[in-house]
Amino acid sequence: MFGIDLGKYRTLVVSIFLFLLFDLGVLVLNFVISSQIAHDAEAVNLAGRQRMLSQRTAKAALQIEKQAASDTPDRKLPAELANAAEIFDRTLRAFMQGGETVSGSGSPLALAPLDDAEAQAILQRAAAVWTPYRQAMQAALAPGANADAVAALVQRAEAANLELLGLMNDLTTRMESIAASKAKNLRMVQVGGITLATINFVIILVHFIGHLRRADRDLEHARKQTDDILKTTQEGLFLLDPDYRIGSQHSRALGGMLGSEKPGGASLIDLLRPAVSQKTLDTAREYIDLLLKHDVKERLVASLNPLDRVEINLSSAPGDTSQRYLKFAFNRVTENKRVTHLLVTANDITKRVELERDLKESEERSASQMSMLVELLRVDPAAMQEFLSGAGSALEHMNSLLKDQTEGREAHSTRINGIYRVAHRLKGDAAALGLTSLAANVHGLESLLTELRERATLTGENFLPVTVRVKSLFADLESIQNVVARVAQMRSTVLVEAPRPAVDADAQALAFVQQWRAFAHQIAQRRHKQVELSYGGLDLAELPAVQRETILSVVNQFIRNAIVHGIETPDERRLRGKPVAGRLAVYVMRNEEGGLALSFRDDGQGISVEGIRQAALKSGRLAPERAHTATDRELIGLIFEPGLSTQGSADEDAGRGAGLDAVKEMVVGQGGRIRIGTTRGEYCHFRVALPAPAEQPDVAAAQPANQEIQT
Amino acid sequence: MKLLIVDDSNIIRSKIARALGAYGLEVVGLAANGKDAVARAAATRPDVVTMDLTMPEMDGIECIREIRKLRPKVQILVVSALADKATAIQALKEGAQGFLCKPFTEQELTEAIGELIEEAQNG
Amino acid sequence: MDEAQLRIFVSILQNYFERQTTRAAEVGTPFLGEANALPVFDYTGVIGISGARRGCVYFTAPGDLLRDLLLRVGESNVAEANLADLAGEIANTISGNARRDFGPDFMISVPVVVRGRTQSIQMPRETKAYVIPLRWQKHRAALVVGVN
């Protein structure tokens, strides 16, 4: 309908339209029928007049005859007769064929022929009587008419008079009855129209009241659902208008979040004012404006929301403030593509924020521990290892005290004291080694225990922070162990693997290599150590006997020395990040001068300069003063001196100080040289050069200075 | 769909160009400062612009204002590492449609541009 | 897993007992257990945790406890299937509530119920788990939290 969408009002409009249509119909019919009835009344009057005129003509005819006999005839009578006859005649014809006649008041009046068959029949009969009567009248009234004509007229009049009167009477009655039936029709039309209109009205009433009721019920239902949602949701939900006002419909939770009894109608900015900085507030206003008034993508500006984490301090009672974190999210509400409001969702994210913060703190804590641990690697590895194993059992002990579920004041008190004692000792040990962060952590545990001691009542649950702390100490120990191992591994991989020619698989199968290997395993087994020996280079069988034997003997000594003094126990090696089995690498090759070069390397703990110093002092090889001033180079040189052993007590593999002095004797005896390279904790590397066998060396010329020492 | 990239970092420019080139946009210009950006916008008539905010010569906010005068229907995505939300909001009010915070992933970038393009094609 | 997070688990469980039976469960002294030496009773409801933190949380209880609990809430059918259901429901409650309180670092799975000693509880090996012993009406149960 011209593009106007009637929507749900369509039925109503149609009903009202019908109602008006019925009324209009009744009105039009009413008008038409009423005018017909008026017309009919006129005709009835005319019919009545015809009756009167028929009498008047008869009377006039009789009077004319009477006066004809007298001397003074009334001159008006013939005119009167002619006039009455004329009107009767015209009216009769107008009734029959339509035409003009004169009304009662004398004005001309147009008539339609009567459309009623019965009335026409009456008129036909009247005309049949009237026509000869009218002719007689004309003959009698003609100038010079004689008495006979008058007599004939009177005769006619007497004959026609009664019949005409009767006929005109019938006509009047007939027409009255037609008019009456039309009036009846009119009433029926009116009644019908009003009935239809009433029915229509009733339908409208029933239909719309039902409709309205249903709509009201639906509305109520929807309102209740909305109410329920707003009442129960944990989120703060509300609409925000362009003046930053909170809509009247909001979730119940909102009040509690904002600390306002009635947030509806209040300004969000005002409510937030005490909680956030002026700058945040200004930015919030700008952000809301941006969403409401500017052509931006809602999703692509969400990251600019300044209210995505608002810290609010609420005081529910004096002195009792709680800190909450709220997150406000803004979504556009559009009507006809225009943004009218923002739907705001406020969430309490306190728990989440706190968890995030805790997580961050604990990550920071562990990061700082790591960096501190790296520094703490200066601690002597043996002392560290001892501490770590002691600390591990201390923590296990604490855990076993927790695990014992005996309850009651007494048991709890015993538990607290037991854990405290262990903790206190652990703290002292950690502090002594300079493990300050670990000591601080243990100190924290002590404080927790002190707090527990002071509590009036104790339940198992109160121990939760203690357990958490013990776990974090376990974790500290583990990370110390990891760092120690990792750093040791880094050193060993960089340094131990330096000069290592490709190992020839065939060389491994050589008989003398098998023999060295068996010898190495035998010693290692006795010392509870593990070793692997690899060989590369010449087949010794190709060498002259003297050289071959020197090499075999020297290598045997080196093997013994390395396993006894160099290679650490598997536990120690693990701690330092080395492979559990110590590595012995042997190479023999020809050097440029046609002599032999022997390389023997182990990845053990290297030579302990301090150990040699002590041994030299003890054996009296160096005077105390000399011992303190001796350089590392000088001290290491002493390992080739007879009678010096760093081994505390003698056993079958070492300790008697024999071995390396024999090596020196042999090598120097053949004119060769020995070089030593060592790094404490990492490796020890002997390199022996033997000259070609043809040049028999002068044994006496050999000097100890032939040892070159690299540290 | 023609794209103009405005950023004073060469690395960011090529990162955006690579990602959005693969996404199907035609890179019609790269600009390292605001003045250059306005000149290129006039010359290349882009549909979409990615815009840094802190740049030499002319800052992003003024640049957005100028480009919008030239091309009223252009879609502008602010790409900035701005810590200050207020400045970014100011930039959006000057006529940008979206904000993407640096550092961003390729997916975040294409999603943001996807949303802007949808508008440009519908509008 | 810190104290606040553990407390969330403990309080969820305590609330559950208090609401269902008006009798709170008593919490024993929490301790640490190695992955291969954790308490497991007849019925165990296991929740897996993934995301930035990984591991699992389980509630384990003997059949007697679950039977009494069922009777107390007016359920007279104490068939095994119902006991397992109850253990599952408790784990479900823990998981549902925990999901609400933990941030995106914790992806909490739908619980699984296992009967008896079983290998199907996958505890992280490299870290010790928290064992929180519970006592309700003389019955022992435990909540075990192993997350690294």
Highest mean predicted confidence (pLDDT) among B39-43, C79-83, C94-98: B39-43
> Is residue C99 less than 8 Å (CB to CB) from chain A?
no
Please give the residue range of the domain that contains residue B20. 2-122
A519 and A593 within one domain: yes
Mutation target to probe the C interface, by most C beta carbons within 10 A, among A348, A466, A471 is A471
The answer to whether residue A417 is domain-embedded is: yes
User: Residue A558, class by beta-carbon neighbours within 10 Å (0-12 exposed, 13-18 middle, 19+ buried)?
Assistant: buried
Give the minimum alpha-carbon distance from A409 to chain C in angstroms, rounded to a whole number: 13
Task: Choose the mutation target among B64, B75, B92 for the interface with A, i.e. most A CBs under 10 Å.
Answer: B92
Domain carrying residue A41: 7-205
- Residue A216 in any domain: the answer is no
Q: In chain A, what residues touch C5 (CB-CB under 8 Å)?
A: 355, 358
Kindly state whether A306 is in contact with chain B, defined as any CB-CB distance less than 8 angstroms: yes
Q: What is the CATH number of the domain that holds A657?
A: 3.30.565.10
- What whole-number distance in Å separates Cα of residue A448 and Cα of residue A465? 7
Conformational region of residue A704, where left means phi above 0, alpha means psi within -120 to 50, and beta covers everything else: alpha
Q: Which of residues 106-145 of C touch A (CB under 8 A)?
A: 127-128, 130-133
Residues of A in contact with C105 (CB under 8 A): 355-356, 359
Q: Over pLDDT 90: what percentage of chain B?
A: 48
Chain A residue closest in CA terms to B89: A287
What's the number of domains chain B is made of? 1
> Does A622 reside within a domain?
yes
Instruction: Residue A189: give its domain's CATH number.
Output: 1.20.120.1730
Is A415 in Cβ contact with C105 (below 8 Å)?
no
The answer to whether position A567 is within a domain reads yes
Q: Could you tell me which residues come within 8 angstroms of residue B123 by beta carbon, excluding any fewer than 6 positions away?
A: B73
Contact call for C28 and A351, based on CB within 8 A:
no
CATH of residue B60: 3.40.50.2300
Q: Identify the pLDDT of residue C60.
A: 93
Q: Is C35 on the interface with A (CB under 8 A)?
A: no
User: Chain C contacts of A347, Cβ < 8 Å?
Assistant: none
CB A82 within 8 A of CB A94: no
CATH code assigned at A254: 3.30.450.20
Q: Are residues A324 and A447 in the same domain?
A: no
What residue in B sits closest to A308 (Cα-Cα)?
A: B85
ipTM value of the model? 0.86
Pick from A494, A454, A239: nearest CA to A345: A239
Evaluate if pTM is beyond 0.90.
no
In this structure, is residue A212 part of a structural domain? no
**Residue A694: what pLDDT?**
60
pLDDT greater than 70 at residue C93: yes
Amino acid A51: pLDDT: 87
Q: What CATH number does the domain containing A360 carry?
A: 1.20.120.160
Q: Is there a contact between B77 and A295 if contact means CB atoms under 8 Å apart?
A: no
Rg from Cα positions in chain C? 14
Q: Is A494 on the interface with B (CB under 8 A)?
A: no
Please, is A700 exposed, middle or buried when counting C-beta atoms within 10 Å of its C-beta (0-12, 13-18, 19+)?
exposed
Same domain, A516 and A601: yes
Whether residue C138 is predicted with pLDDT greater than 60 in this model: the reply is yes
* CA–CA separation, A609 and A711 (whole Å): 10
Locate C39 and state its tokens. 């308490």
Q: How many domains is chain C built from?
A: 1
Domain end point (choices A298, A314, A348): A348
CA C102/CA C49 separation, integer angstroms: 11
A447 and A343 assigned to the same domain: no
* Segments of chain A with pLDDT less than 70: 1-8, 71-73, 313-322, 368-382, 486-508, 643-658, 693-711
Alpha carbon of A291: minimum distance to chain B alpha carbons (Å): 10
Q: Is A241 exposed, middle or buried (0-12, 13-18, 19+ CB in 10 A)?
A: middle
Domain limit, last residue, from A466, A493, A520: A493
Specify the CATH number for the domain of residue C101. Answer: 3.40.1550.10
Q: Are residues A16 and A126 in the same domain?
A: yes
pLDDT score recorded for residue A637: 82
Which of chain A's residues have a Cβ under 8 Å away from the Cβ of C133? Answer: 405, 460
3 state DSSP class of A576: coil
Number of folded domains that form chain A? 4
| A28/A164 same-domain check | yes
Q: For chains A and C, what is the number of CB pairs under 8 angstroms?
A: 71
pLDDT for the residue numbered A645: 62
pLDDT value of residue B123: 46
Identify whether A624 is preceded by a cis peptide bond (ω within 30 of 0).
Answer: no
Would you state the pLDDT for residue A7?
67
Q: How far apart are CA A395 and CA A402, in angstroms?
A: 11
Domain residues for C106?
3-147
List, in sequence order, every beta strand (DSSP E) within A509-634: 531-537, 582-590, 596-602
CA distance A83 to A137: 11
Is B89 in Cβ contact with A287 (below 8 Å)?
Answer: yes
Distance CA C9, CA C7 (A): 5
Question: A279 CB near a chain B CB, below 8 Å?
Answer: yes
Q: What pLDDT was estimated at residue A644?
A: 67
Statement to judge: residues A558 and A685 lie in one domain: yes
Per-residue confidence (pLDDT) for residue A488, from 0 to 100:
67
pLDDT tens-digit profile of C47-72? 888 766 778 889 999 999 999 988 88
Residues A187 and A95 in one domain: yes
Domain edge (last residue) among A473, A493, A513: A493
